[in-house]
């Protein structure tokens, strides 16, 4: 669920405003967006990197910044959206004309570009659109998925073979995840070549017994009469809600030499998850991640293609839940004799080094500042690179430590958010830095953190910012009613007067392990409100991340309870500020944030004058089982937790102005959530406003939709707050 919110903020985040017009139209049209660098790929030598620029792959030197070569131009095939090199860097695989399926899955036209001959060939002439085309490690093959089956193109013979034949929509998926795996385990490719390219492992999903959900799409006026256009089109797909049956998963390994497929033994319990498979680097050995239904036990299994046997070699357990399946962070060192994995077993997310038989070698990190992302390991120099919490939970820093856990050092020098892209030899990293007052400042640094040169400084934007009348964002801490210190931000207009009383819109998400308060440069839709005399504030409540397992997991079994309490406390805190009009507080949120806005306006009635909920969950029993059961347990074991924290139960308590918005074809948070909530409000005789966007999914975009949506919200807030 949370990744949508991250994507939404990425699309319209940050750049610059001039003294001219800070308007909703200018914000949404991208006139305030900062400049970045896209499609960075480190070359094998570690001394050069490429970027995707003007539909070409341009090669630069890390040290000099000089253009060393233009390796490819894709204009003859269309607009390239992404690319990858073959292992010998003689060919480039890229795709064009992608068509979205769900959040991470898409169809596209895939091509191979030969760098020497400059020739472009389609991956498969038999199919217009395919999925997930991927080079084999030896660069001689490309595997891809079409119609739920796996195919392999042999680049040497120019022939294509079909590896699976039983793929069928809504029944069998080979090599690509079903809807709920894609959404909640956050991946879209479920196959992997072995390092020697002799085998192809894949997960098969049998969703025959998974219950279906139907969305209806509506046609407009057509140029010619069509009886079919007079009826809605039913889109039926498999969606397992809480307590319901999942896909039966199995892991298979295809041998190219034997033209034979083996199945790995996963144990007697079929009610399991397999969120990842990865080759260890040992000859013919595949690691399979197996989780139980409650997601509080993660087993690592090793399948040997030579003996066809599976053995368990490592287990992580937690009394509540394990999130390592969501954050892929298992890395085998060369030869597969040991691996690195992240875990919060000591209370904070850290990196651990284990031998291949599951014995602890060392705890690589041990600071209470949690690890956020594992960036890689330099085995030659025995260094581990990662990002972690900076000076506070709103900041992200780049770190290095010895593999044995000694000599930890912060490589980034500026406080804010730092996101690195390391070279393959770990001699350099490109750092994307920003803060509340600084748009992207992108630099090349050596592995000691020394800045070597600047790639993008957004100087023109900074110059305009320095003379503008931009809203100012401040990050601060406050304490909730339980005495917990929580981080927050507030945005004030450039002409802020502390002797005036301002209305405040609180924006939020507040979902498990997701932080919205960030020391990065952002310029969101609600800055239009700030320019009109509103304040905007946000706080990360209990249940969000970066403060340890107890803070993050205290919401287990009762999503919405502590978050609502904290947002009610926040309203009291804001009302106590001398420049805030406590009678004019509003709250807005999307997805999980919409759930919270709905809860605050009902269960926390009276704390806010106005609420806007977009695409909200209103009953966790309506949502998918992987996400919900991870944080709530099984509904038959926790019925009170499900019911007592649903805004449906408190519909009769609604106070204030309330606007409910959703897309009629939301495959993620089903329209069912909003429709049932509407009925509950009607039966409670509560006045509210309601907006449904036809044929739109969880993102609610397309055509004029985005403009219409935000204009409606701004108008509602202006008129009622």
Q: How far apart are CA 272 and CA 267, in angstroms?
A: 9
CATH number at residue 552: 3.40.50.1820
Domain membership flag for residue 701: yes
Q: What is the pLDDT of residue 353?
A: 97
Q: What is the pLDDT of residue 17?
A: 41
Cβ-proximal residues to 354 (8 Å cutoff; 6+ apart), any chain: 314, 338, 339, 340, 341, 360, 361
Number of H helices, E strands in the chain: 12, 43
Which pLDDT value is given to residue 227? 73
- Which tokens belong to 349? 């997310």
pTM above 0.85, yes or no: yes
Q: Give DSSP secondary structure letters for 195-208.
A: TTSSEEEEEEEE-T
Q: Please report whether residue 670 resides in a domain.
A: yes
- 604 in a structural domain: yes
Return the number of other C-beta atoms located less than 10 Å from residue 333's C-beta. 16
pLDDT of residue 569: 98
Q: What is the pLDDT of residues 576-598, one digit of tens each?
A: 999 999 999 999 999 999 999 99
Please report the pLDDT score of residue 327 as a whole number. 57
Q: Specify the pLDDT at position 32.
A: 78
Asked whether residue 590 is assigned to any structural domain, the reply reads yes
Residue 53 CB neighbour total at 10 angstroms: 14
What is the domain extent for residue 542? 465-720
Q: Which of the residues in the chain have pLDDT under 50?
A: 3-20
Cβ-based neighbours of 301, under 8 Å, separated by 6 or more: 264, 266, 287, 288, 289, 290, 310, 311, 312, 313
SS3 (DSSP) at 718: helix
Q: Which residues in 256-330 belong to E strands, given as ranges?
A: 260-263, 272-279, 285-292, 297-304, 309-317
Residue 260 counted as domain residue:
no
Give, to the nearest 10 degrees, the angle between helix 2-12 and helix 592-602: 100
Please give the Cα distance from 612 to 527 (Å, whole number): 16
On whether residue 276 sits in a domain, the answer given is: no
Q: Whose CA is closest to 667, among 210, 2, 102?
A: 102
Locate 413 and state its tokens: 């020098």
Would you state the pLDDT for residue 150?
98
Residue 526 lies in a domain: yes
Is 147 strand, coil or helix? coil
- pLDDT at residue 460, as a whole number: 84
Place of tokens 């029993």: 621
369-408 pLDDT, tens digit per residue, is 899 999 999 999 999 999 999 999 999 999 999 999 999 9
Tell me the C-alpha to C-alpha distance, in Å, between residue 43 and each of 33, 113, 479, 504, 524.
Answer: 29, 17, 48, 49, 36
* pLDDT score at 30: 80
Is residue 499 in a domain? yes
Structural domain count, the chain = 1
């Amino acid at each position: 669920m949370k990744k949508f919110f991250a994507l939404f903020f990425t699309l319209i985040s940050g750049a610059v405003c001039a003294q001219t017009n800070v308007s909703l139209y200018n914000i949404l049209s991208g006139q305030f967006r900062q400049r970045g660098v896209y499609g960075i790929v480190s070359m094998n030598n570690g001394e050069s990197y490429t970027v995707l620029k003007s539909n070409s792959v341009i090669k630069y030197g890390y040290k000099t910044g000089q253009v060393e070569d233009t390796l490819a131009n894709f204009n003859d095939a269309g607009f390239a959206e992404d690319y990858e090199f073959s292992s010998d860097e003689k060919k480039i695989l890229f795709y064009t004309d992608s068509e979205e399926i769900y959040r991470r899955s898409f169809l596209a036209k895939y091509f191979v570009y030969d760098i020497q001959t400059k020739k472009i060939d389609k991956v498969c002439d038999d199919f217009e659109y395919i999925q997930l085309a991927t080079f084999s490690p030896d660069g001689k093959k490309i595997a891809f998925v079409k119609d739920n089956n796996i195919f392999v193109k042999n680049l040497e013979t120019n022939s294509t073979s079909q590896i699976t034949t039983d793929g069928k929509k809504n029944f069998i998926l080979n090599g690509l995840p079903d809807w709920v795996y894609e959404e909640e385990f956050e991946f879209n490719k479920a196959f992997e070549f072995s390092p020697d390219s002799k085998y192809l492992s894949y997960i098969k999903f049998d969703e025959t017994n998974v219950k279906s959900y139907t969305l209806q799409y509506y046609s407009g006026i057509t140029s010619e009469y069509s009886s079919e256009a007079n009826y809605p089109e039913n889109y039926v797909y498999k969606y397992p809600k809480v307590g319901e049956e999942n896909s039966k998963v199995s892991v298979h390994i295809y041998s190219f030499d034997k033209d034979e497929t083996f199945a790995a033994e996963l144990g007697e319990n079929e009610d399991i998850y397999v969120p990842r498979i990865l080759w260890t680097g040992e000859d013919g050995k595949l690691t399979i991640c197996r989780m139980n239904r409650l997601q509080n036990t993660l087993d690592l299994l090793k399948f040997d293609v030579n003996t066809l046997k599976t053995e368990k070699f490592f287990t992580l357990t937690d009394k509540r839940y394990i999130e390592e399946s969501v954050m892929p962070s298992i890395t085998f060192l060369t030869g597969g004799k040991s691996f690195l994995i992240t875990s919060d077993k000591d209370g904070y997310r850290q990196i651990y080094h284990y031998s291949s038989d599951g014995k602890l070698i060392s705890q690589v990190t041990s600071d209470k500042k949690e690890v956020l992302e594992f960036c890689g390991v330099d085995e030659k120099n025995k260094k581990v690179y990662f990002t972690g919490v900076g000076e506070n939970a709103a900041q992200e820093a780049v770190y290095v430590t010895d593999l044995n856990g000694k000599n930890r050092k912060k490589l980034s020098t500026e406080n804010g958010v730092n996101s690195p892209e390391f070279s393959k030899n770990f001699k350099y990293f490109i750092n994307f830095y920003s803060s509340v007052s600084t748009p992207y400042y992108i630099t090349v640094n050596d592995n000691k953190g020394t800045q070597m040169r600047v790639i993008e400084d957004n100087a023109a934007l900074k110059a305009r910012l320095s003379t503008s009348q931009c809203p100012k964002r401040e990050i601060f801490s406050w304490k909730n009613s339980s005495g917990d210190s929580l981080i927050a931000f507030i945005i004030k207009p450039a002409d802020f007067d502390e002797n005036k009383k301002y209305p405040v819109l609180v924006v939020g998400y507040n979902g498990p392990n997701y932080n919205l308060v960030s020391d990065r440069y952002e310029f969101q839709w609600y800055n239009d409100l700030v320019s009109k005399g509103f304040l905007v504030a946000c706080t990360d409540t209990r249940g969000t991340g970066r403060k340890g397992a107890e803070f993050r997991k205290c919401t287990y079994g009762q999503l919405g309870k502590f978050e609502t309490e904290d947002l009610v406390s926040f309203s009291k805190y804001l009302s106590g500020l001398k420049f805030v009009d406590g009678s004019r507080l509003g709250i807005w949120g999307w997805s999980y944030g919409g759930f919270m806005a709905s809860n605050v306006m009902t269960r926390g009635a009276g704390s806010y004058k106005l609420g806007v909920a977009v695409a909200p969950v209103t009953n966790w029993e309506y949502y998918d089982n992987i996400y919900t059961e991870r944080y709530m347990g099984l509904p038959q074991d926790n019925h009170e937790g499900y019911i007592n924290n649903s805004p449906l139960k408190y519909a009769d308590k609604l106070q204030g102005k309330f606007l409910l918005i959703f897309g009629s074809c939301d495959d993620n948070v089903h329209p069912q959530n909003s429709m049932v909530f509407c009925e509950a409000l009607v039966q409670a005789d509560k006045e509210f406003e309601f907006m449904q966007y036809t044929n739109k999914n969880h993102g609610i975009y397309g055509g004029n939709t985005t403009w219409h949506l935000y204009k409606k919200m701004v108008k509602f807030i202006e008129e009622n707050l």
